Amino acid sequence: MRILGLLSCALLGALLIAIAADFPEWGDAHSPASEHLSPYFIEHTMEDTSVPNIVTSVLADYRGYDTMFETIVVFCAGIACFFLLGSYACAEPEERFYRSVETGVVLRFTGDARPRPDSPCFERIDPRWTPRDIIISMVGRIMVPFIQIYALYVVAHGHHSPGGGFQGGVILGAAFILLALSSNLRTMTRCIDHKVLGVLSALGVMIYAGVGVTCMVMGSNFLDYAALHTILGVSPVAARSLGILFVEVGVAMTVMATMVVIYNNVASAGRYEEGL
Amino acid sequence: MEHFLTEVLADHYNYWAYIALMMIGLYAMIAKNNLVKKIIGMNIFQTAIILFYVSIGFKKNATIPILDAHGAHGHEVVAHAVDYINPLPHVLMLTAIVVSVATLGVALALVLKIYREHGTLEEDDILNQLSE
């Protein structure tokens, strides 16, 4: 099997290299890929959408339909992860451990007994709990707000600089994952609940599709943002620019929530306890 | 020989790199026994495709596909297609990267489930257990 695999891969590689000699040269400005559609995008993005970042205007406007379904694929992946591993109705274990924050004493509770849920003196821990490094958890905690601000900048400034919904959403999700990695999963769950994440990832897709349906209601094609200009009170070109922003916010929400959902489920094998 | 070096190799060596990466990924998917190694192979394969697309969009003496709006004070920005690299492959790969991360998450979830069921990630052990 191993030899056969190696042989077939080598054969296929040799064939592809032989074919690659006919491919356009590296950096050829007149290669077939750059001849047909992309000159239109480059030359008309300003007059059509007033968005200087061509990648953003192609992503959310010219190819908005494609991007909507990419977002749905990401959403479905998050749902699939949840259905494979997780569940909201985790049975409470018989023994629960609470650690006193000040003294480090760990108390074991059985039955229905527990400290007050909002008590600042105790934190819930798991049997596999390990003491966390104070430097890592503090530095992670300090970094998180800055990463989140940067992520919002990337989402909001996608019209004029590299960025947009997908990139900003991934950075925003990375901030939450950093919090979970530097302390533990329970700390992150206290900041953003699993159910909130589920709702956010569906809400992002809904915003995207909702903008499209609103365009239809206004009497235009699905995702033709120019139709929104009567609602927004701006010119049709500015309405397309604003429509791109709405859609990007939806994408960012879905991507952020899905990244965190996938991390939660895979890192804790669906039990949402200690995590990695 | 000189023709080969200047014409074929100098203009196409980027494709050779992607083909090499692609074949490494494909070999890992075919021949490796461990499921996690197969997933890593799949990711190397995806990375090769992403690099291939991004390199197709490149043009010599062109800049990133963000129009220079500062030059226009009151008059129209005239953008020439040869001055900006092709934005289309960037758009396609932008979404493909995020989707590949999402599919990686699903693959890892499946692998976790398989490990819980069989106690191993070696493919032939799993097949033995299934045939018993």
pLDDT per residue as tens digits for the range B53-87: 999 888 888 888 888 765 555 555 677 888 889 99
Three-state DSSP at B52 gives: helix
- Inter-chain residue contact B67 with A52, CB threshold 8 Å: yes
Handedness of CA A157, A161, A167, A173 (dihedral sign): negative
B19, B57, B77 ranked by CB distance to A46: nearest: B77
- Inter-chain residue contact B86 with A38, CB threshold 8 Å: yes
User: ipTM of this model?
Assistant: 0.87
How far apart are alpha carbons A178 and B119 in whole angstroms? 30
Q: How confident is the model at residue A128, as a pLDDT?
A: 72
Locate tokens 């590949």: which residue?
B100
Closest CA to A40 of B88, B95, B74, B17: B88
Q: How confident is the model at residue A204, as a pLDDT?
A: 95
- Inter-chain residue contact B102 with A160, CB threshold 8 Å: no
- Inter-chain residue contact B106 with A164, CB threshold 8 Å: no
Contacts of A253 in chain B (CB under 8 A): none
Contacts of A262 in chain B (CB under 8 A): 101-102, 105-106, 109
Provide the pLDDT confidence category of residue B89 given band limits of 50, 70 and 90: very high
Contacts of A31 in chain B (CB under 8 A): 56
Locate tokens 């949402």: which residue?
A272
Handedness of CA A222, A227, A232, A237 (dihedral sign): positive
Three-state DSSP at A53 gives: strand
- Inter-chain residue contact B67 with A8, CB threshold 8 Å: no
Mean pLDDT of B17-28: 93
Say yes or no: A267 contacts chain B, CB-CB below 8 A: no
How far apart are alpha carbons B5 and A253 in whole angstroms? 49
From residue A115, alpha-carbon distances to A110, B52, B105 in Å are 12, 57, 36
Give tens-digit pLDDT for A144-170: 999 999 999 999 999 888 888 999 999
CA atoms within 13 A on the CB side of A200: 21
> Which residue type does A151 have?
A
Contact A162, B64 (CB under 8 A): yes
Say yes or no: B33 contacts chain A, CB-CB below 8 A: no
Q: How confident is the model at residue B77, as a pLDDT?
A: 61
Phi, psi of A110 (to 5 degrees): -125, 165
Say if residue B132's pLDDT is above 90.
Answer: no
Residue spans of the domains in chain A: they are 46-89+130-267
Chain A residues 140-169 with a CB less than 8 Å from chain B? 160-162, 164, 166-167, 169
Domains annotated on chain B, with CATH: 2-66+81-131 (1.10.287.3510)
Give tens-digit pLDDT for B3-15: 777 777 777 888 9
Say yes or no: A73 contacts chain B, CB-CB below 8 A: yes
pTM over 0.90: no
Say yes or no: A37 contacts chain B, CB-CB below 8 A: yes
B54 CA to centre of own chain: 9
Compute, in degrees rounded to 10, the torsion defined by CA atoms B81, B86, B92, B94: -110
Phi, psi of A223 (to 5 degrees): 65, 20
Residue A79: CB atoms within 10 A of its CB come to 16
Handedness of CA A159, A164, A165, A168 (dihedral sign): negative
Say yes or no: B9 contacts chain A, CB-CB below 8 A: no
Say yes or no: B124 contacts chain A, CB-CB below 8 A: no
Q: Classify the phi-psi angles of B20: left when phi > 0, otherwise alpha if psi is within -120 to 50, otherwise beta.
A: alpha
Q: How confident is the model at residue A28, as a pLDDT?
A: 84
A37, A53, A73 ranked by CB distance to B88: nearest: A37
Say yes or no: B30 contacts chain A, CB-CB below 8 A: yes
Give the residues of chain A that fall short of pLDDT 70: 87-93, 117-118, 274-276
DSSP string, A100-124: ETTT--EEEEETT----TT-SSEEE
Give A110's strand partners.
A95
Contact A101, A132 (CB under 8 A): no
